[in-house]
Chains A and B, each alone.
Chain A
Amino acid sequence: MKKTALMATIVLASCAAWLLASEPQRSPASGVLIIKDAFILPVSRPALPKGSVLIREGKIAEIGPQVATPEGATVIDAKGQYVMPGIIDCHSHIAISGGVNEGTLAVTAMVGIEDVIDPEDINIYRSLAGGVTTANILHGSANPIGGRNQVIKLRWGKDAKGLIFEGAKPGIKFALGENPKRSRATPGTSPARYPQTRMGVEDVIRDALIEARTYTEKWDEYKKRALAADKPAIPPAKDLKLETLAEILRGERLVHAHCYRADEILMLLRVADEFGFKIATFQHVLEGYKVAKEIAEHGAGASTFSDWWAYKVEAYDAIPYNAAIMTRKGVVVSINSDSAEEARHLNQEAAKCMKYGGLSEQEALALVTLNPAKQLRIDNRVGSIEPGKDADLVIYNRHPLSVYAVAQKVFIDGQVYFDIQKDLEMRERLEKERASLKEKDKKERERERRPEGRRTPPTDVTTTAVEPPDEP
């Protein structure tokens, strides 16, 4: 597990240091903050070459070319800098402890990322430094139906609960194609598991959904009987897996389906239509461009990579024009990272969709902000710079679609969670802490060595029960 390395604020060789190690210093939530004279990219509407954003109590209060500075407001002069909404990574596996996959079964809807959030994963901070403020933390793709996902805000320094994006609609991971059918499992390392084909993948999903439907019926029936009957009935067993699946059928849980090939995308659309629910997002969806029309008709989103391809057979037809084609055909598209590294430059990955397929700046930026927000049903809260939305913002030194852009400050709920200047100061502090810890360690070891110190006693000590001695 990863630990807080970077945000240590106090460098005392004491528990106080431990306690405070992960608490970043930042402005109070109730503060009023104004980012002035920046090039503003609201995403929901055209860029504002020079304007200000007013933040009040963690929310965006006002945006425009002329915003009055309220008395007492903290002023951030962003002249020559660029402000855009915080990046939303629609496919991430950071901040998970104890395994990304529960890969032992074909259906693991009973497990959930919300139970295993690791708030001290250093990749949270690294992503934050790349402008990411919200991430959709997904179970892996080892099984046709995986675990529940959790949308988080990268509030580095908070505990697991503090990261959770309150009110984000719950979801679940599905996976189609090579991964769930275990195409790359080394023989002998893990037991063969059904399914091994795309036919089997469909079968497993269909089976699970039927089981969930039956489960719901059983409970409905029990509730009806329990109300009517004079004697109590034993309730059916509560099953965490089927509870989760039943939520999908009721439309209460979003399906995020890992997929590659056009055929499997169509397969899942058919299954979803048949069971009467919608797919929220197709993830990766590298052949989405081949069936963009069908995806758009269903109303599913597509969350894809900018330009990864050829790492496996089902990725051989992947093209960097995927996002552009799908966008043109009416699909809500996002670009995701699926990688702690890639997450640090999603803005630049989005720029690739201008190069490949000619999206506009606004369309490109939407791929990593407003569109993923829509896909995760959190666009009422985040994804664009609009009054009333959460003040999740990034300030860049250059246009964020430029390869040269470096995030300078990152805000979540109006609070600074990353500041490039503070980061440099922190490096010095951490070096000092290291030096002091090493010194302490050295002293401790010297003491261990001194004969009068804590000498390890002889090991072959024996104890014996002694009978009372004879009285003299």
Chain B
Amino acid sequence: MQRRNLKHLPALALFCALLGLRATAGSPTYAIRDAQVHTLASSGTLPRATVVIADGKIAAVGSNVKIPAGAQIINGQGLEVYPGMINAWSNIGLTEIGSVPATNDASEIGDYNPHLLAFTAIHPDSEHIPVARANGITASLSVPAGGILSGQAVLLHLDGWTVNEMAILERAGLVMQFPSLSERTVSGGGLRETRRQTFSERKRNYERRVREIGDLLEAARHYSRARTSNPSTAVDRKLEALIPVVQEKMAVFIQADTARDIKNAVDFARKEKLKMVLQGGREASRVADLLKKENIPVILESIVALPVREDDPYDARFTLPRDLVRAGVRFALTSPSSSDVRNLPYEAGFAQAYGLSHEEALKAVTVNPAEILGVADRMGKIEPGKVADLAVTDGDLLEIRTQVKNLFIAGKNVSLETRHTRLYQKYLNRP
């Protein structure tokens, strides 16, 4: 297929645009009338406005918008409209039942698999997808795991008959588990043989790993030059996959959590000239100045989590977004576990409870992930020309009690039915 040979970003972008068009061609025109619209754009929150959706895009937003003839009208009185939420990290579509290995396709064997694509293994009929979107999440990154270079993430619309229709970015970035100097337990078989690595052992491993990654990137640079100067150079698919990385065209999601690991990762990325996005970032606030200075955005893992250290403040993880905002670091909040993606708004809700403003909290699950994933031109805000990913709710998007009334993904009014609603209806009616 033509798709397989795409390796340059402009072509990729064009292709994605085509995909977008294909997915939405022929979808009806909608007008959401008289709703409170949170544009998250320059026009801010409009207390009573209309959003027009046509051809999969937002055609118009405002209080004096002309509704096109033939548009299906949704009465938005008492309702609110938000940009669809974007979950910037998950394994959705790659796993179904955690404890059943047969349903897990996220983690491949081997340390260096830069050429593997999450795109390949997405299961469009996963029950997790409707469950996630029913709560207003319209797009999610889905990432491979395992090894050091795990493969490439895919940015998905949470709707579509096939993965081709779902993919927003087929190759959204390379996932790198950065070698850690911090302590991890090594299991030597049985439970009782678990032991700790000494620091020297860790350091040796760390240095070897970092050298390996560096060597691989150097090989990719060399390969890239060789391929350009001599197109008959034998194809190496791993190195081929790394070309956009070494050319700084493809983002690298570098996973690191402790302050030192993050520092090391940043140093490494600077030295190797990588387009780095930090992922994880548990202790990101301790190196916030560095992240700010190097302009490295962060995709945080779930902040609704226990403190790492016994002597951390009880709210250490809840307050991380606040600390990053204060330092001026860009970040996205995520709900990474596939079955939990629906809880993304509450990540933002907790971040607000512990210090973010409402706007900052909303942006952390809409505008920010769009920017960090490089799709801010298309997604994240309610503006004319943007892809029509919208959540229509009966209240504050981040509040638990709020119900999503309508959901638009690429202009399509998507069903809110899920495995859960089906079982609910079935058993509620059990005599």
Asked whether the complex places CB atoms of A and B closer than 8 A, the reply is: yes
A residues contacting B by CB (< 8 A) are 2-3, 5-6, 122-123, 125-126, 129, 178, 183-184, 189, 289-290, 292-293, 307-313, 315-317, 319-321, 325, 328, 340-341, 344-345, 348, 351-352, 354-357, 398, 401-406, 423, 427, 430
- Knowing A189-B190, A307-B343, the reply to whether A403 touches B311 (Cβ < 8 A) is no
- Whether A423 lies near B314 (C-beta < 8 A) is yes
* B98: min CB distance to chain A, Å: 4
Cβ-closest chain A residue relative to B191: A189
Q: Which residues of chain B are within 8 angstroms of A309 by Cβ–Cβ distance?
A: 339, 420
CA distance A232 to B191 in the complex (A): 50
Interface of chain B residues 124 through 138 with chain A (CB within 8 A): 127-128
* B218: min CB distance to chain A, Å: 39
Total residue contacts A-B, CB cutoff 8 A: 113
Question: Is the CB of B30 closer than 8 A to any CB of chain A?
Answer: no
Can you list 14 contacts pairing A with B, beta carbon distance less than 8 Å? A2-B310, A122-B310, A189-B190, A289-B424, A307-B343, A310-B127, A311-B99, A312-B98, A312-B99, A316-B97, A319-B423, A319-B424, A354-B400, A401-B401
Cβ-defined partner of B398 (8 Å) among A325, A351, A398, A403: A403
Interface residues as binary, B321-339 with A (CB distance below 8 Å gives 1, 0 otherwise): 0000000000000000011
Question: Is the CB of B402 closer than 8 A to any CB of chain A?
Answer: yes
Q: Which residues of chain A are within 8 angstroms of B127 by Cβ–Cβ distance?
A: 310
- Whether B313 lies near A427 (C-beta < 8 A) is yes
Interface residues as binary, B79-121 with A (CB distance below 8 Å gives 1, 0 otherwise): 0000000000000000011111000000000000000000000
Q: Which residues of chain A are within 8 angstroms of B399 by Cβ–Cβ distance?
A: 402-404
* B259: min CB distance to chain A, Å: 17
- Knowing A189-B190, A311-B339, A348-B346, the reply to whether A341 touches B305 (Cβ < 8 A) is yes
* A389: min CB distance to chain B, Å: 27
CA distance A423 to B338 in the complex (A): 35
Cβ-closest chain B residue relative to A125: B314
Q: Which residues of chain B are within 8 angstroms of A2 by Cβ–Cβ distance?
A: 310
Q: Which residues of chain B are within 8 angstroms of A357 by Cβ–Cβ distance?
A: 424
Question: Is the CB of B69 closer than 8 A to any CB of chain A?
Answer: no
CA distance A9 to B429 in the complex (A): 57
- Knowing A312-B98, A351-B401, A404-B352, the reply to whether A290 touches B430 (Cβ < 8 A) is yes
Cβ-closest chain B residue relative to A4: B310
Question: Is the CB of B306 closer than 8 A to any CB of chain A?
Answer: yes
* B350: min CB distance to chain A, Å: 7
Count of chain B residues with a beta carbon within 8 Å of a chain A beta carbon: 44
Q: Which residues of chain B are within 8 angstroms of A351 by Cβ–Cβ distance?
A: 400-401
Question: Is the CB of B161 closer than 8 A to any CB of chain A?
Answer: no
Question: Is the CB of B219 closer than 8 A to any CB of chain A?
Answer: no
CA distance A293 to B431 in the complex (A): 9
CA distance A183 to B189 in the complex (A): 19
* B407: min CB distance to chain A, Å: 15
Q: Which residues of chain B are within 8 angstroms of A122 by Cβ–Cβ distance?
A: 310
Cβ-defined partner of A355 (8 Å) among B310, B352, B403, B421: B403
Question: Is the CB of B353 closer than 8 A to any CB of chain A?
Answer: yes
CA distance A430 to B345 in the complex (A): 34
Q: Which residues of chain A are within 8 angstroms of B421 by Cβ–Cβ distance?
A: 321
- Whether A355 lies near B313 (C-beta < 8 A) is no
* A198: min CB distance to chain B, Å: 16
CA distance A345 to B427 in the complex (A): 28
CA distance A385 to B339 in the complex (A): 36
Which A-B residue pairs are the 10 nearest by beta carbons?
A403-B349, A312-B99, A351-B400, A321-B424, A319-B420, A311-B98, A310-B339, A5-B311, A404-B353, A129-B314
